[in-house]
Structure 1
Amino acid sequence: MKNKFIKGLLVSSLLAVSTQAATWKYAIEESITDVQGVYATKFKEYIEKNSEHKIKIYPYGTLGESVDVMEQAQAGILEFVDQSPGFTGTLIPEAQAFLLPYVFPENSKAIDNFFKNSKAINKMFPKLYAKQGLELLKMFPEGAVSITTQEPFTKPKDLNGKKIRVMTSPLLVETYKAFGAVPTPLAWGEVYGSLQTKIIDGQENPMFWIESAKLYEVSEVITDIGHNIFTTAVMANKNFFDSLPKKDKKLVKQASEHAFNYILDYQKTIIKKAKDKIKKDKPSIKFVTLSDEQREPFRKAAQDVYKKFIELTGKSGEKILNQMLKDLEEAAK
């Protein structure tokens, strides 16, 4: 009888610990006012409004470089992390499918439909992330990627010998090789200084980040070749997520959906604002948008990158890419 009573007390104590209010740590790879920061803030607001839990957001640079942050997330030091496939590509090679050039349409409604309904995102990728100790909560777009350089270019030949910084992704290296450039993987903290000292000639990022990180200050031309959109993924440490009571799992999923729905509209409004701010701060900057005809040689070069993706990822990557293409076709309808 006494043993049963003690066991009952222990069970009650464990339940109390599992359901008590906690402060969860959430790291992003941008500033708090950028797209990932806005998503994280909306996530935080929902969690704190609907529970006793708190969210502490760590903007880029507060916990080290991207590789450091991911290690902390996998180790359970962080409960949540937002990181793009450009950095997780070595960890989850198949995620580099989001880096393939000329896969995504430039139609914003089709892009929204894809991220909402994609079987690849919602059914296939979670299994791959789980193998790395991560619970995939959401993937979302952050806007079209542009390329900043010191001189204008309209064809791959113009990029010959030009050092273009890329994230530490094998596929981005292959992409810029195909585009004629010299791909230069660099940690984000080194980019501005490397542009300033002419160690590199350019880099790629969405427009809001070119403005936010002041990359236009050390660039002369911003070019849109229509090759990609910037995608990011929000993840939880899997052991942490699996240990949550059903109520908190549901809360986290609802907060993710709430922030996702907000960010799809928000990220569309910031491109023009970013361009206007850049023009105001640096009137000499040149904005270039390549025509369909000018883009064709880049599209042709991209075919070699698709082959390299299959080489890097094997049947698993081929299966996911085929599903993504089907999903995109459905989204366009």
Structure 2
Amino acid sequence: MTKKMKFLAFSLILFVSLVLAACGDDSSNSEDGKIKIIAAHNQTDQENPYQAGLLEFKEVAEAESDGKIEVEVHAGTIGTEESELVEKLKLGAADVVLVSPGFMTSTGIKEVDLFALPYLFESYDHWETVVDGEVGQKMAELINEKSNNDFKLVGYWSAGVRHYYGSKPLNSMDDLKGMTIRTQTSGIVADYWKQAGAVPTDVAWGELYQALQQDVVKSAENAYPYFVQQNHHTTNNGKFITETGHDYTTRFLLVNGKKFDSLTEEQQNAILAAAEASVEAEREAVYKQEEEYKQKAIDEGAEVNEIDRTPFIELAKPLQDQAAKDIGAEELLKQIRETE
């Protein structure tokens, strides 16, 4: 574990102790002292890194609590859309979920959109240094405070580095003109693709394979472990992959704040230990699968090419500046750019 990860973990534990002091020892435990935790992500493939992360969460939480915590892991079975999972977490129908920054903005915490900006991070090392350091700590505090205790951020996961894949390779930005692309259809991400010349189109993740197969969209963007597991690369509108590397993705591991606060200190510490372990397991799975699934795509007929990213990065910078100003995150953006 890096020093920065230890620092974030220490900060979270300190936050928990303050909550306990304020709220006392209210507990939602059953009569036998056991509790069930519903943990969910939106991916249906059992080989997905999300599943590896939540299974590690389950193992550590149950072990650290001496069996007094039971974790039930759901891989897309209680929602394949992140908006569903956020709503279930808020209502108490789920206790631990994994979501992207884009879906968190709908809760009114606009600062989280910072992590969704295209070309914000230069590498995995840059990303880890940021989220495991002071910026990550500040974002966790913002989420905890602004959600009125509905959400507590207990870890930063990755969903890989996202690339374009579509009906033709990209040799320059001009090749995107008029191209329908499955991506976010509002916000900074949509604005970026529009300015690049593409046409953002809304398609549910679970329906994207069929949409690519039936020409509903001509392209999409995601990381190798995700779109290759869904066989998008086997469609005519997914076989050409251009490594745009436009997003070293951030995912938030969130717990239901109110239920968390009702647990005993021992149970809370077990949850935090499980969250910390899940971060390491999920990231390790992502980094390993990046190369494995790239090779799988090539072996199964996909074509991969690289592109000069400079024009794409230059297009992103003024959008980053404006977005950071709009959401009140200019200082955080400056910190990220200055972090090495």
Q: Please indicate the TM-score interval, normalised by the length of the shorter structure.
A: 0.7 to 0.9
**If the length of structure 1 is used for normalisation, what is the TM-score?**
0.85
Q: Helix, strand or coil for the counterpart of 1:101?
A: coil
Structure 1 residues 54 and 287, CA, compared in 2 at 3 Å: closer, same or farther? same
- The answer to whether the 8 Å contact 1:166/1:173 transfers is yes
Q: What is the letter of the counterpart of residue 315 of structure 2? A: A
**If the length of structure 2 is used for normalisation, what is the TM-score?**
0.83
Q: What is the letter of the counterpart of residue 20 of structure 1? A: G
Aligned with 1:248 (options 267, 286, 294): 267
Q: Which residue of 1 aligns with 2:73?
A: 57
**Residue 86 of structure 2 corresponds to residue 70 of structure 1:** yes
Q: Which residue of 2 aligns with 1:204?
A: 221
Q: State the distance in 2 between where 1:44 and 1:98 align.
A: 27
**Deviation at residue 266 of structure 1 after TM alignment:** 2.8
1:205-284 maps to which residues of 2 (within 5 A)? 205-218=222-235, 219-280=238-299, 282-283=300-301
Aligned with 1:120 (options 132, 135, 147): 135
Q: Which residue of 1 aligns with 2:34?
A: 21
CA RMSD of aligned residues (A): 2.4
Structure 1 residues 178 and 19, CA, compared in 2 at 3 Å: closer, same or farther? farther
Q: Which residue of 1 aligns with 2:54?
A: 40
- The answer to whether the 8 Å contact 1:155/1:298 transfers is no
Larger relative helix fraction: 1
- The answer to whether the 8 Å contact 1:87/1:169 transfers is no
Q: Over residues 41-100 of structure 1, what are the superposed CA-to-partner deviations in whole Å (9 max), with x where a residue is unaligned?
A: 100000112222111111125335221221110111111111111332333322221221
Segments of 4+ moved more than 6 angstroms:
12-16
Q: Over residues 15-36 of structure 1, what are the superposed CA-to-partner deviations in whole Å (9 max), with x where a residue is unaligned?
A: 9748811111011022332111
Q: State the distance in 2 between where 1:183 and 1:261 align.
A: 33
**Residue 318 of structure 2 corresponds to residue 318 of structure 1:** no
Aligned with 1:299 (options 305, 313, 328): 313
**Deviation at residue 169 of structure 1 after TM alignment:** 4.9
Q: Helix, strand or coil for the counterpart of 1:180?
A: coil
Q: What is the letter of the counterpart of residue 300 of structure 1? A: E
Q: State the distance in 2 between where 1:19 and 1:127 align.
A: 36
Q: Which residue of 1 aligns with 2:18?
A: none
- The answer to whether the 8 Å contact 2:182/2:217 transfers is yes
Aligned pair count reads 309
- The answer to whether the 8 Å contact 1:25/1:57 transfers is yes
Q: State the distance in 2 between where 1:149 and 1:129 align.
A: 38
- The answer to whether the 8 Å contact 2:39/2:97 transfers is yes
- The answer to whether the 8 Å contact 2:165/2:240 transfers is yes
**Deviation at residue 148 of structure 1 after TM alignment:** 0.7
Q: Helix, strand or coil for the counterpart of 2:249?
A: strand
Q: State the distance in 2 between where 1:123 and 1:13 align.
A: 27
Q: What is the letter of the counterpart of residue 64 of structure 2? A: N
**Residue 198 of structure 2 corresponds to residue 181 of structure 1:** yes
**Deviation at residue 273 of structure 1 after TM alignment:** 0.9
Q: Which residue of 2 aligns with 1:139?
A: 156
Q: What is the letter of the counterpart of residue 145 of structure 1? A: R
- The answer to whether the 8 Å contact 1:148/1:203 transfers is yes
Structure 1 residues 186 and 210, CA, compared in 2 at 3 Å: closer, same or farther? same
